[in-house]
């Protein structure tokens, strides 16, 4: 019998013959059936990528996207039965795919879209009540030791390209002709209630939020952000995180510093 490795290799490579030991249940020639199965598998995986990256497909057109995705699928078969998880390395592949080199922002658009997929399927978590943070902010002596835990769906992208505007233009939020794709933008991706939001934020906000994700206390995270972006506004960033339900828990780095 053909090994599983041989079967998968033949399934993803149209140049390979049908595995020699493959048998059809009704005694018919297996090659034709295998060819149909091969096409169905390839098409399903391409469809999964298209569903995850609709804006990428819109930017390059369906024919180009499916040809590009076919090359990716043949070289990067899924490692999980969950199709929503497929394509994590697709943006990196796009960066090295020579026919797409004329659109250097395409890979980051794919990264943004995959962050949206991840956010959609992330675990639920209840947002922190606004009065909890208000109470903490009213105790400045211990504020620097405050630890904030963020929503599992939250993702960040610091891009050299206008990924937020490109994505927004394809949602009808602005005209694509008005977008300069070579303008650097940062994105906050977050599921708020049942909707996944894409929000443009400052680079300092990215550094601050990354520090919070690394469980750094608020004071240290703010210092880190200010050192990298002197226009960082802690109040505005915290207000946005609270408004969008991004903060789910607060505590203190030391019980002795609790107000």
Q: pLDDT digits over 118-158, tens only?
A: 999 999 999 998 888 888 877 778 888 999 999 999 999 99
The pLDDT value recorded for residue 21 is 67
pLDDT of residue 26: 62
pLDDT score, position 46: 95
Is 50 exceeded by the pLDDT of residue 12?
yes
Would you give the DSSP letter of residue 127? P
Strands (DSSP E) contained in 106-201 are 146-150, 155-159, 185-192, 195-201
**For residues 27-51, average pLDDT:** 76
Please compute, for residue 230, the number of CA atoms within 13 A of its CA located in the half-sphere on the CB side.
0
Instruction: Identify the pLDDT of residue 2.
Output: 46
Least confident of 35-39, 64-68, 73-77, 165-169: 35-39
59-103 confidence digits (pLDDT tens): 999 999 999 999 999 899 888 888 888 999 999 999 999 999 999
Query: CA angle 190-194-196, nearest 5°?
Result: 30
Contact 110, 56 (CB under 8 A): yes
3-state secondary structure of 78: coil
| Cβ contact 42:73 at 8 Å | yes
Other C-beta atoms within 10 Å of 50: how many?
15
Q: What's the pLDDT score for residue 238?
A: 93
CB 145, CB 254: distance < 8 Å? yes
Structure tokens at 203: 């680079």
Q: What pTM did the predictor assign? A: 0.87
- Residue 244 has which token pair? 């969008």
């Amino acid at each position: 019998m053909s090994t599983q490795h041989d079967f998968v290799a033949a399934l993803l490579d149209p140049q390979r013959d049908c595995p020699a030991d493959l048998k059809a249940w009704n005694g018919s020639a297996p090659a034709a059936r295998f060819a149909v199965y091969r096409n169905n598998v390839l098409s399903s995986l391409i469809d999964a990528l298209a569903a995850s990256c609709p804006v990428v497909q819109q930017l390059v057109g369906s024919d180009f996207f499916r040809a590009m995705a076919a090359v990716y699928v043949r070289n990067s078969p899924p490692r999980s039965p969950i199709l929503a998880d497929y394509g994590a390395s697709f943006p990196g592949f796009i960066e090295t795919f020579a026919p797409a080199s004329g659109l250097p922002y395409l890979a980051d658009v794919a990264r943004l879209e995959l962050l949206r997929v991840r956010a959609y399927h992330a675990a639920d978590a209840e947002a922190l009540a606004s009065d909890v943070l208000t109470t903490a902010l009213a105790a400045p002596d211990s504020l620097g030791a405050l630890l904030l835990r963020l929503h599992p769906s939250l993702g960040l992208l610091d891009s050299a390209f206008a990924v937020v505007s490109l994505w927004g233009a394809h949602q009808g939020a602005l005209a694509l002709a008005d977008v300069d794709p070579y303008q650097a933008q940062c994105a906050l991706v977050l599921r708020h209630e049942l909707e996944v939001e894409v929000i443009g934020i400052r680079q300092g906000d990215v550094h601050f939020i990354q520090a919070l994700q690394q469980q750094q206390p608020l004071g240290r995270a703010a210092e880190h952000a200010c050192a990298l972006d002197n226009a960082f506004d802690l109040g505005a960033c915290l207000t946005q995180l609270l408004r969008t339900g991004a903060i789910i828990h607060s505590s203190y780095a030391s019980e002795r510093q609790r107000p």
